[in-house]
Amino acid sequence: MFEIEYSDIEQNNLNKLVLENGLVIIRNAELDMQAFEDIANGLGRLLKTNLHAINKKRNIQELSNNELLRNGDVDWHNDWSYGRGNYYGTMLYNVKNAHLSETWFVNTSKVPNWLREEYKECVGYYWLPQFDGEVQAFGTDSEIRKCFTEKQLKILEKYVQQRPFIQNHFKTDEELLYCSLGTLQKMDNEREVDTFRKYCDENNYKHKWREGDILLWDNLKMIHKRFAFAGDRMLWRTQFSI
């Protein structure tokens, strides 16, 4: 984890900081949509979506009690776990009242060796979630599907993502424990994932949101979650190549 002031971001290579630290906290920003886009465009190629997109290029989404993810519990997960291609970076900005729910993070490149041994033979399978119309923390099936273009949907439906639990980061070569609990559909060499869940619940960084906070993180290293909340909460999000 690395923390900087918004006034210092031009003097720092944000991509490098994300790769080195997993999570970067930028304090005291005051962004309009254009300023958010400018930072995002400097990070890398951005993922385009349909539903919840709030800019013309369709690469910035609104996360709120009325839009994407709504206000329910969101389990431990890695963004883009079921996606193809490098969109492993996430940028999240506190537009309004993000403090209503902390965001919890675990850097899985730092897990102990005994936990790596527990899952060294496991492989997880991830594909587009199917919720049979029932409202979940990740939305309904129809809502999730509308987040993507038709071309993206065809790719997501065709290519199941097979991800070893123990893998090396393709940029940093660090060994990671990758298990997106909230989006895992099945696994080879079945093991209880409760051990990993318990570790995450007991060994995490809880981000207490402040006004003007921006978070950047690497979804290969970092798994995250949040709890349900009541009230009017809004954040802007984009996903970028790392």
CA separation for the pair 175, 122 (Å, rounded): 14
The token pair at 126 is 């991830």
CA separation for the pair 120, 112 (Å, rounded): 12
| Separation in Å, CA 174 to CA 4, 208, 211, 224 | 24, 28, 33, 19
**pTM, full prediction:** 0.89
2-240 belongs to which homologous superfamily?
Clavaminate synthase-like (3.60.130.10)
The tens-digit pLDDT sequence of the chain (242 residues) is 999 999 999 999 999 999 999 999 999 999 999 999 999 999 999 998 877 889 999 999 999 887 767 888 899 999 999 888 898 999 999 999 999 999 999 999 999 999 999 999 999 998 765 544 343 444 444 555 656 667 767 766 677 899 999 999 999 999 999 999 988 988 887 778 999 999 999 999 999 999 999 999 999 999 999 999 999 999 999 999 99
SS3 category, 198: helix
CA separation for the pair 67, 179 (Å, rounded): 26
Asked if residues 229 and 69 have their Cβ atoms less than 8 Å apart, the reply is no
In the chain, what are the domain boundaries? 2-240
CA separation for the pair 217, 88 (Å, rounded): 8
**Which residues, listed in sequence order, are joined to residue 46 by a DSSP beta bridge?**
240
